[in-house]
């Protein structure tokens, strides 16, 4: 509609879409650095969007973090036929339980009346235990589901903030600093050109797997994440960004 074309948010969306080269953008008003509930607003926008793309037998893979957890809070029942399944995108990467992908997947399923599957894999595995676990039919089956997900919901974080939050070993911290890591998503750390500086070895969705997904939705806001969002989208394989006004304005100012 004409009215919206002239609104500030709409202009921001157009400008940011061009700048990041991303197919779809939704910007919600506010700054999630200053008001935690803006994450919930991004969550509501995400749920609204999911309603349009979710098919009864969709598989939705989710990452961890406070933003994706806020999407779970905003979830509502989506379809009558509840055959869709929520799964964690990758094994746990040192988050608190309520912000772990497993927990978030279960909560989303609960709130939408959908189903969920969890991935129980310890953070650190010897190669031998890894091989053994992969042979477990239940693990093998859920991994197939994760790889086959057609919708992926993920957060983007500031590299060093995320590394500290995950109690990253000193030598990796040094590697991230030396490599000028700016952003983090899916356990991958990227510099300002979008090059991978470091990757946490985890089973589940790998960056290359995103290529053949129909919908890869990044959700990240707050002006403190502007540089991280820009960094991730340099080579990011996500086709949608849900963010807030503060991150969007800062990102456009940065350049
Ligand atoms: O991978 C990125 C992080 O999960 C983002 O976490 O939403 O708590 O900032 P956050």
* Substitution candidate for ligand 1 out of 61, 157, 205, 238 with most atoms within 8 A of CB: 157
50 lines ligand 1 (CB under 6 A): no
Residue 171, burial from CB neighbour count under 10 angstroms (0-12, 13-18, 19+): exposed
* pLDDT, average across residues 184-201: 94
Distance CA 106, CA 128 (A): 29
**182 C-alpha vs ligand 1 centroid, how far in Å?**
13
* Atom from ligand 1 closest to the CA of residue 66: 8
Instruction: Give me Rg for the CA atoms of the chain.
Output: 18
CB of residue 246 inside a 6 A radius of ligand 1: no
Ligand 1 center to residue 65 CA distance, Å?
4
pLDDT of 2 strictly over 70 = no
Q: Average pLDDT, whole number, for the chain?
A: 91
Asked if 232 contacts 193 with a C-beta cutoff of 8 angstroms, the reply is no
DSSP string, 111-175: HHT-EE------SS--HHHHHHHHTSHHHHHHHHHHHT-SEEEEE-EEHHHHHHHTT--HHHHHH
Answer for the pair 149, 61: CB distance below 8 angstroms, yes or no: yes
This prediction has a pTM of 0.94
Q: Determine whether 175 is exposed, middle or buried from the number of CB atoms within 10 Å of its CB (0-12, 13-18, 19+).
A: middle
Where does the pLDDT of residue 55 fall: very low under 50, low under 70, confident under 90, or very high at 90 and above? Answer: confident
Centroid of ligand 1 to alpha carbon of 226 (angstroms): 13
Q: What pLDDT is attached to residue 111?
A: 94
Render pLDDT for 93-134 as a digit per residue (tens, 0 to 9).
677 889 999 999 999 999 998 999 998 877 666 778 878 888
The finding on whether 66 has its CB within 6 A of some atom of ligand 1 is yes
Q: Each residue of 135-174: pLDDT tens digit?
A: 889 888 999 999 999 999 999 999 999 999 988 999 999 9
């Amino acid at each position: 509609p004409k009215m919206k074309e002239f609104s500030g948010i709409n202009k921001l969306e157009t400008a940011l879409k061009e700048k990041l080269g991303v197919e779809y953008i939704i910007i919600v008003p506010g700054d999630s650095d200053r008001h935690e509930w803006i994450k919930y607003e991004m969550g509501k926008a995400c749920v609204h969007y999911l309603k349009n793309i979710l098919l009864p037998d969709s598989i939705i893979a989710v990452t961890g973090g406070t933003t994706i957890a806020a999407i779970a809070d905003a979830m509502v029942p989506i379809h009558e036929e509840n055959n869709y399944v929520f799964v964690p995108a990758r094994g746990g990467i040192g988050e608190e339980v309520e912000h772990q992908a497993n927990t978030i997947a279960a909560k989303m399923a609960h709130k939408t009346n959908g189903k969920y599957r969890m991935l129980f894999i310890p953070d650190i595995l010897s190669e031998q235990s890894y091989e053994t676990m992969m042979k477990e039919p239940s693990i093998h089956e859920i991994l197939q589901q994760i790889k086959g997900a057609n919708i992926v919901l993920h957060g983007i974080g500031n590299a060093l903030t995320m590394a500290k939050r995950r109690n990253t070993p000193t030598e990796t911290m040094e590697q991230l600093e030396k490599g000028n890591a700016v952003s983090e998503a899916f356990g991958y750390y990227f510099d300002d050109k979008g090059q991978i500086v470091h990757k946490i070895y985890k089973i589940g969705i790998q960056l290359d797997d995103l290529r053949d997904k129909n919908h890869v939705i990044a959700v990240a806001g707050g002006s403190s994440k502007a540089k991280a969002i820009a960094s991730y989208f340099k080579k990011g394989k996500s086709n949608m960004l849900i963010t807030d006004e503060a991150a969007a304005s800062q990102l456009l100012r940065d350049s």
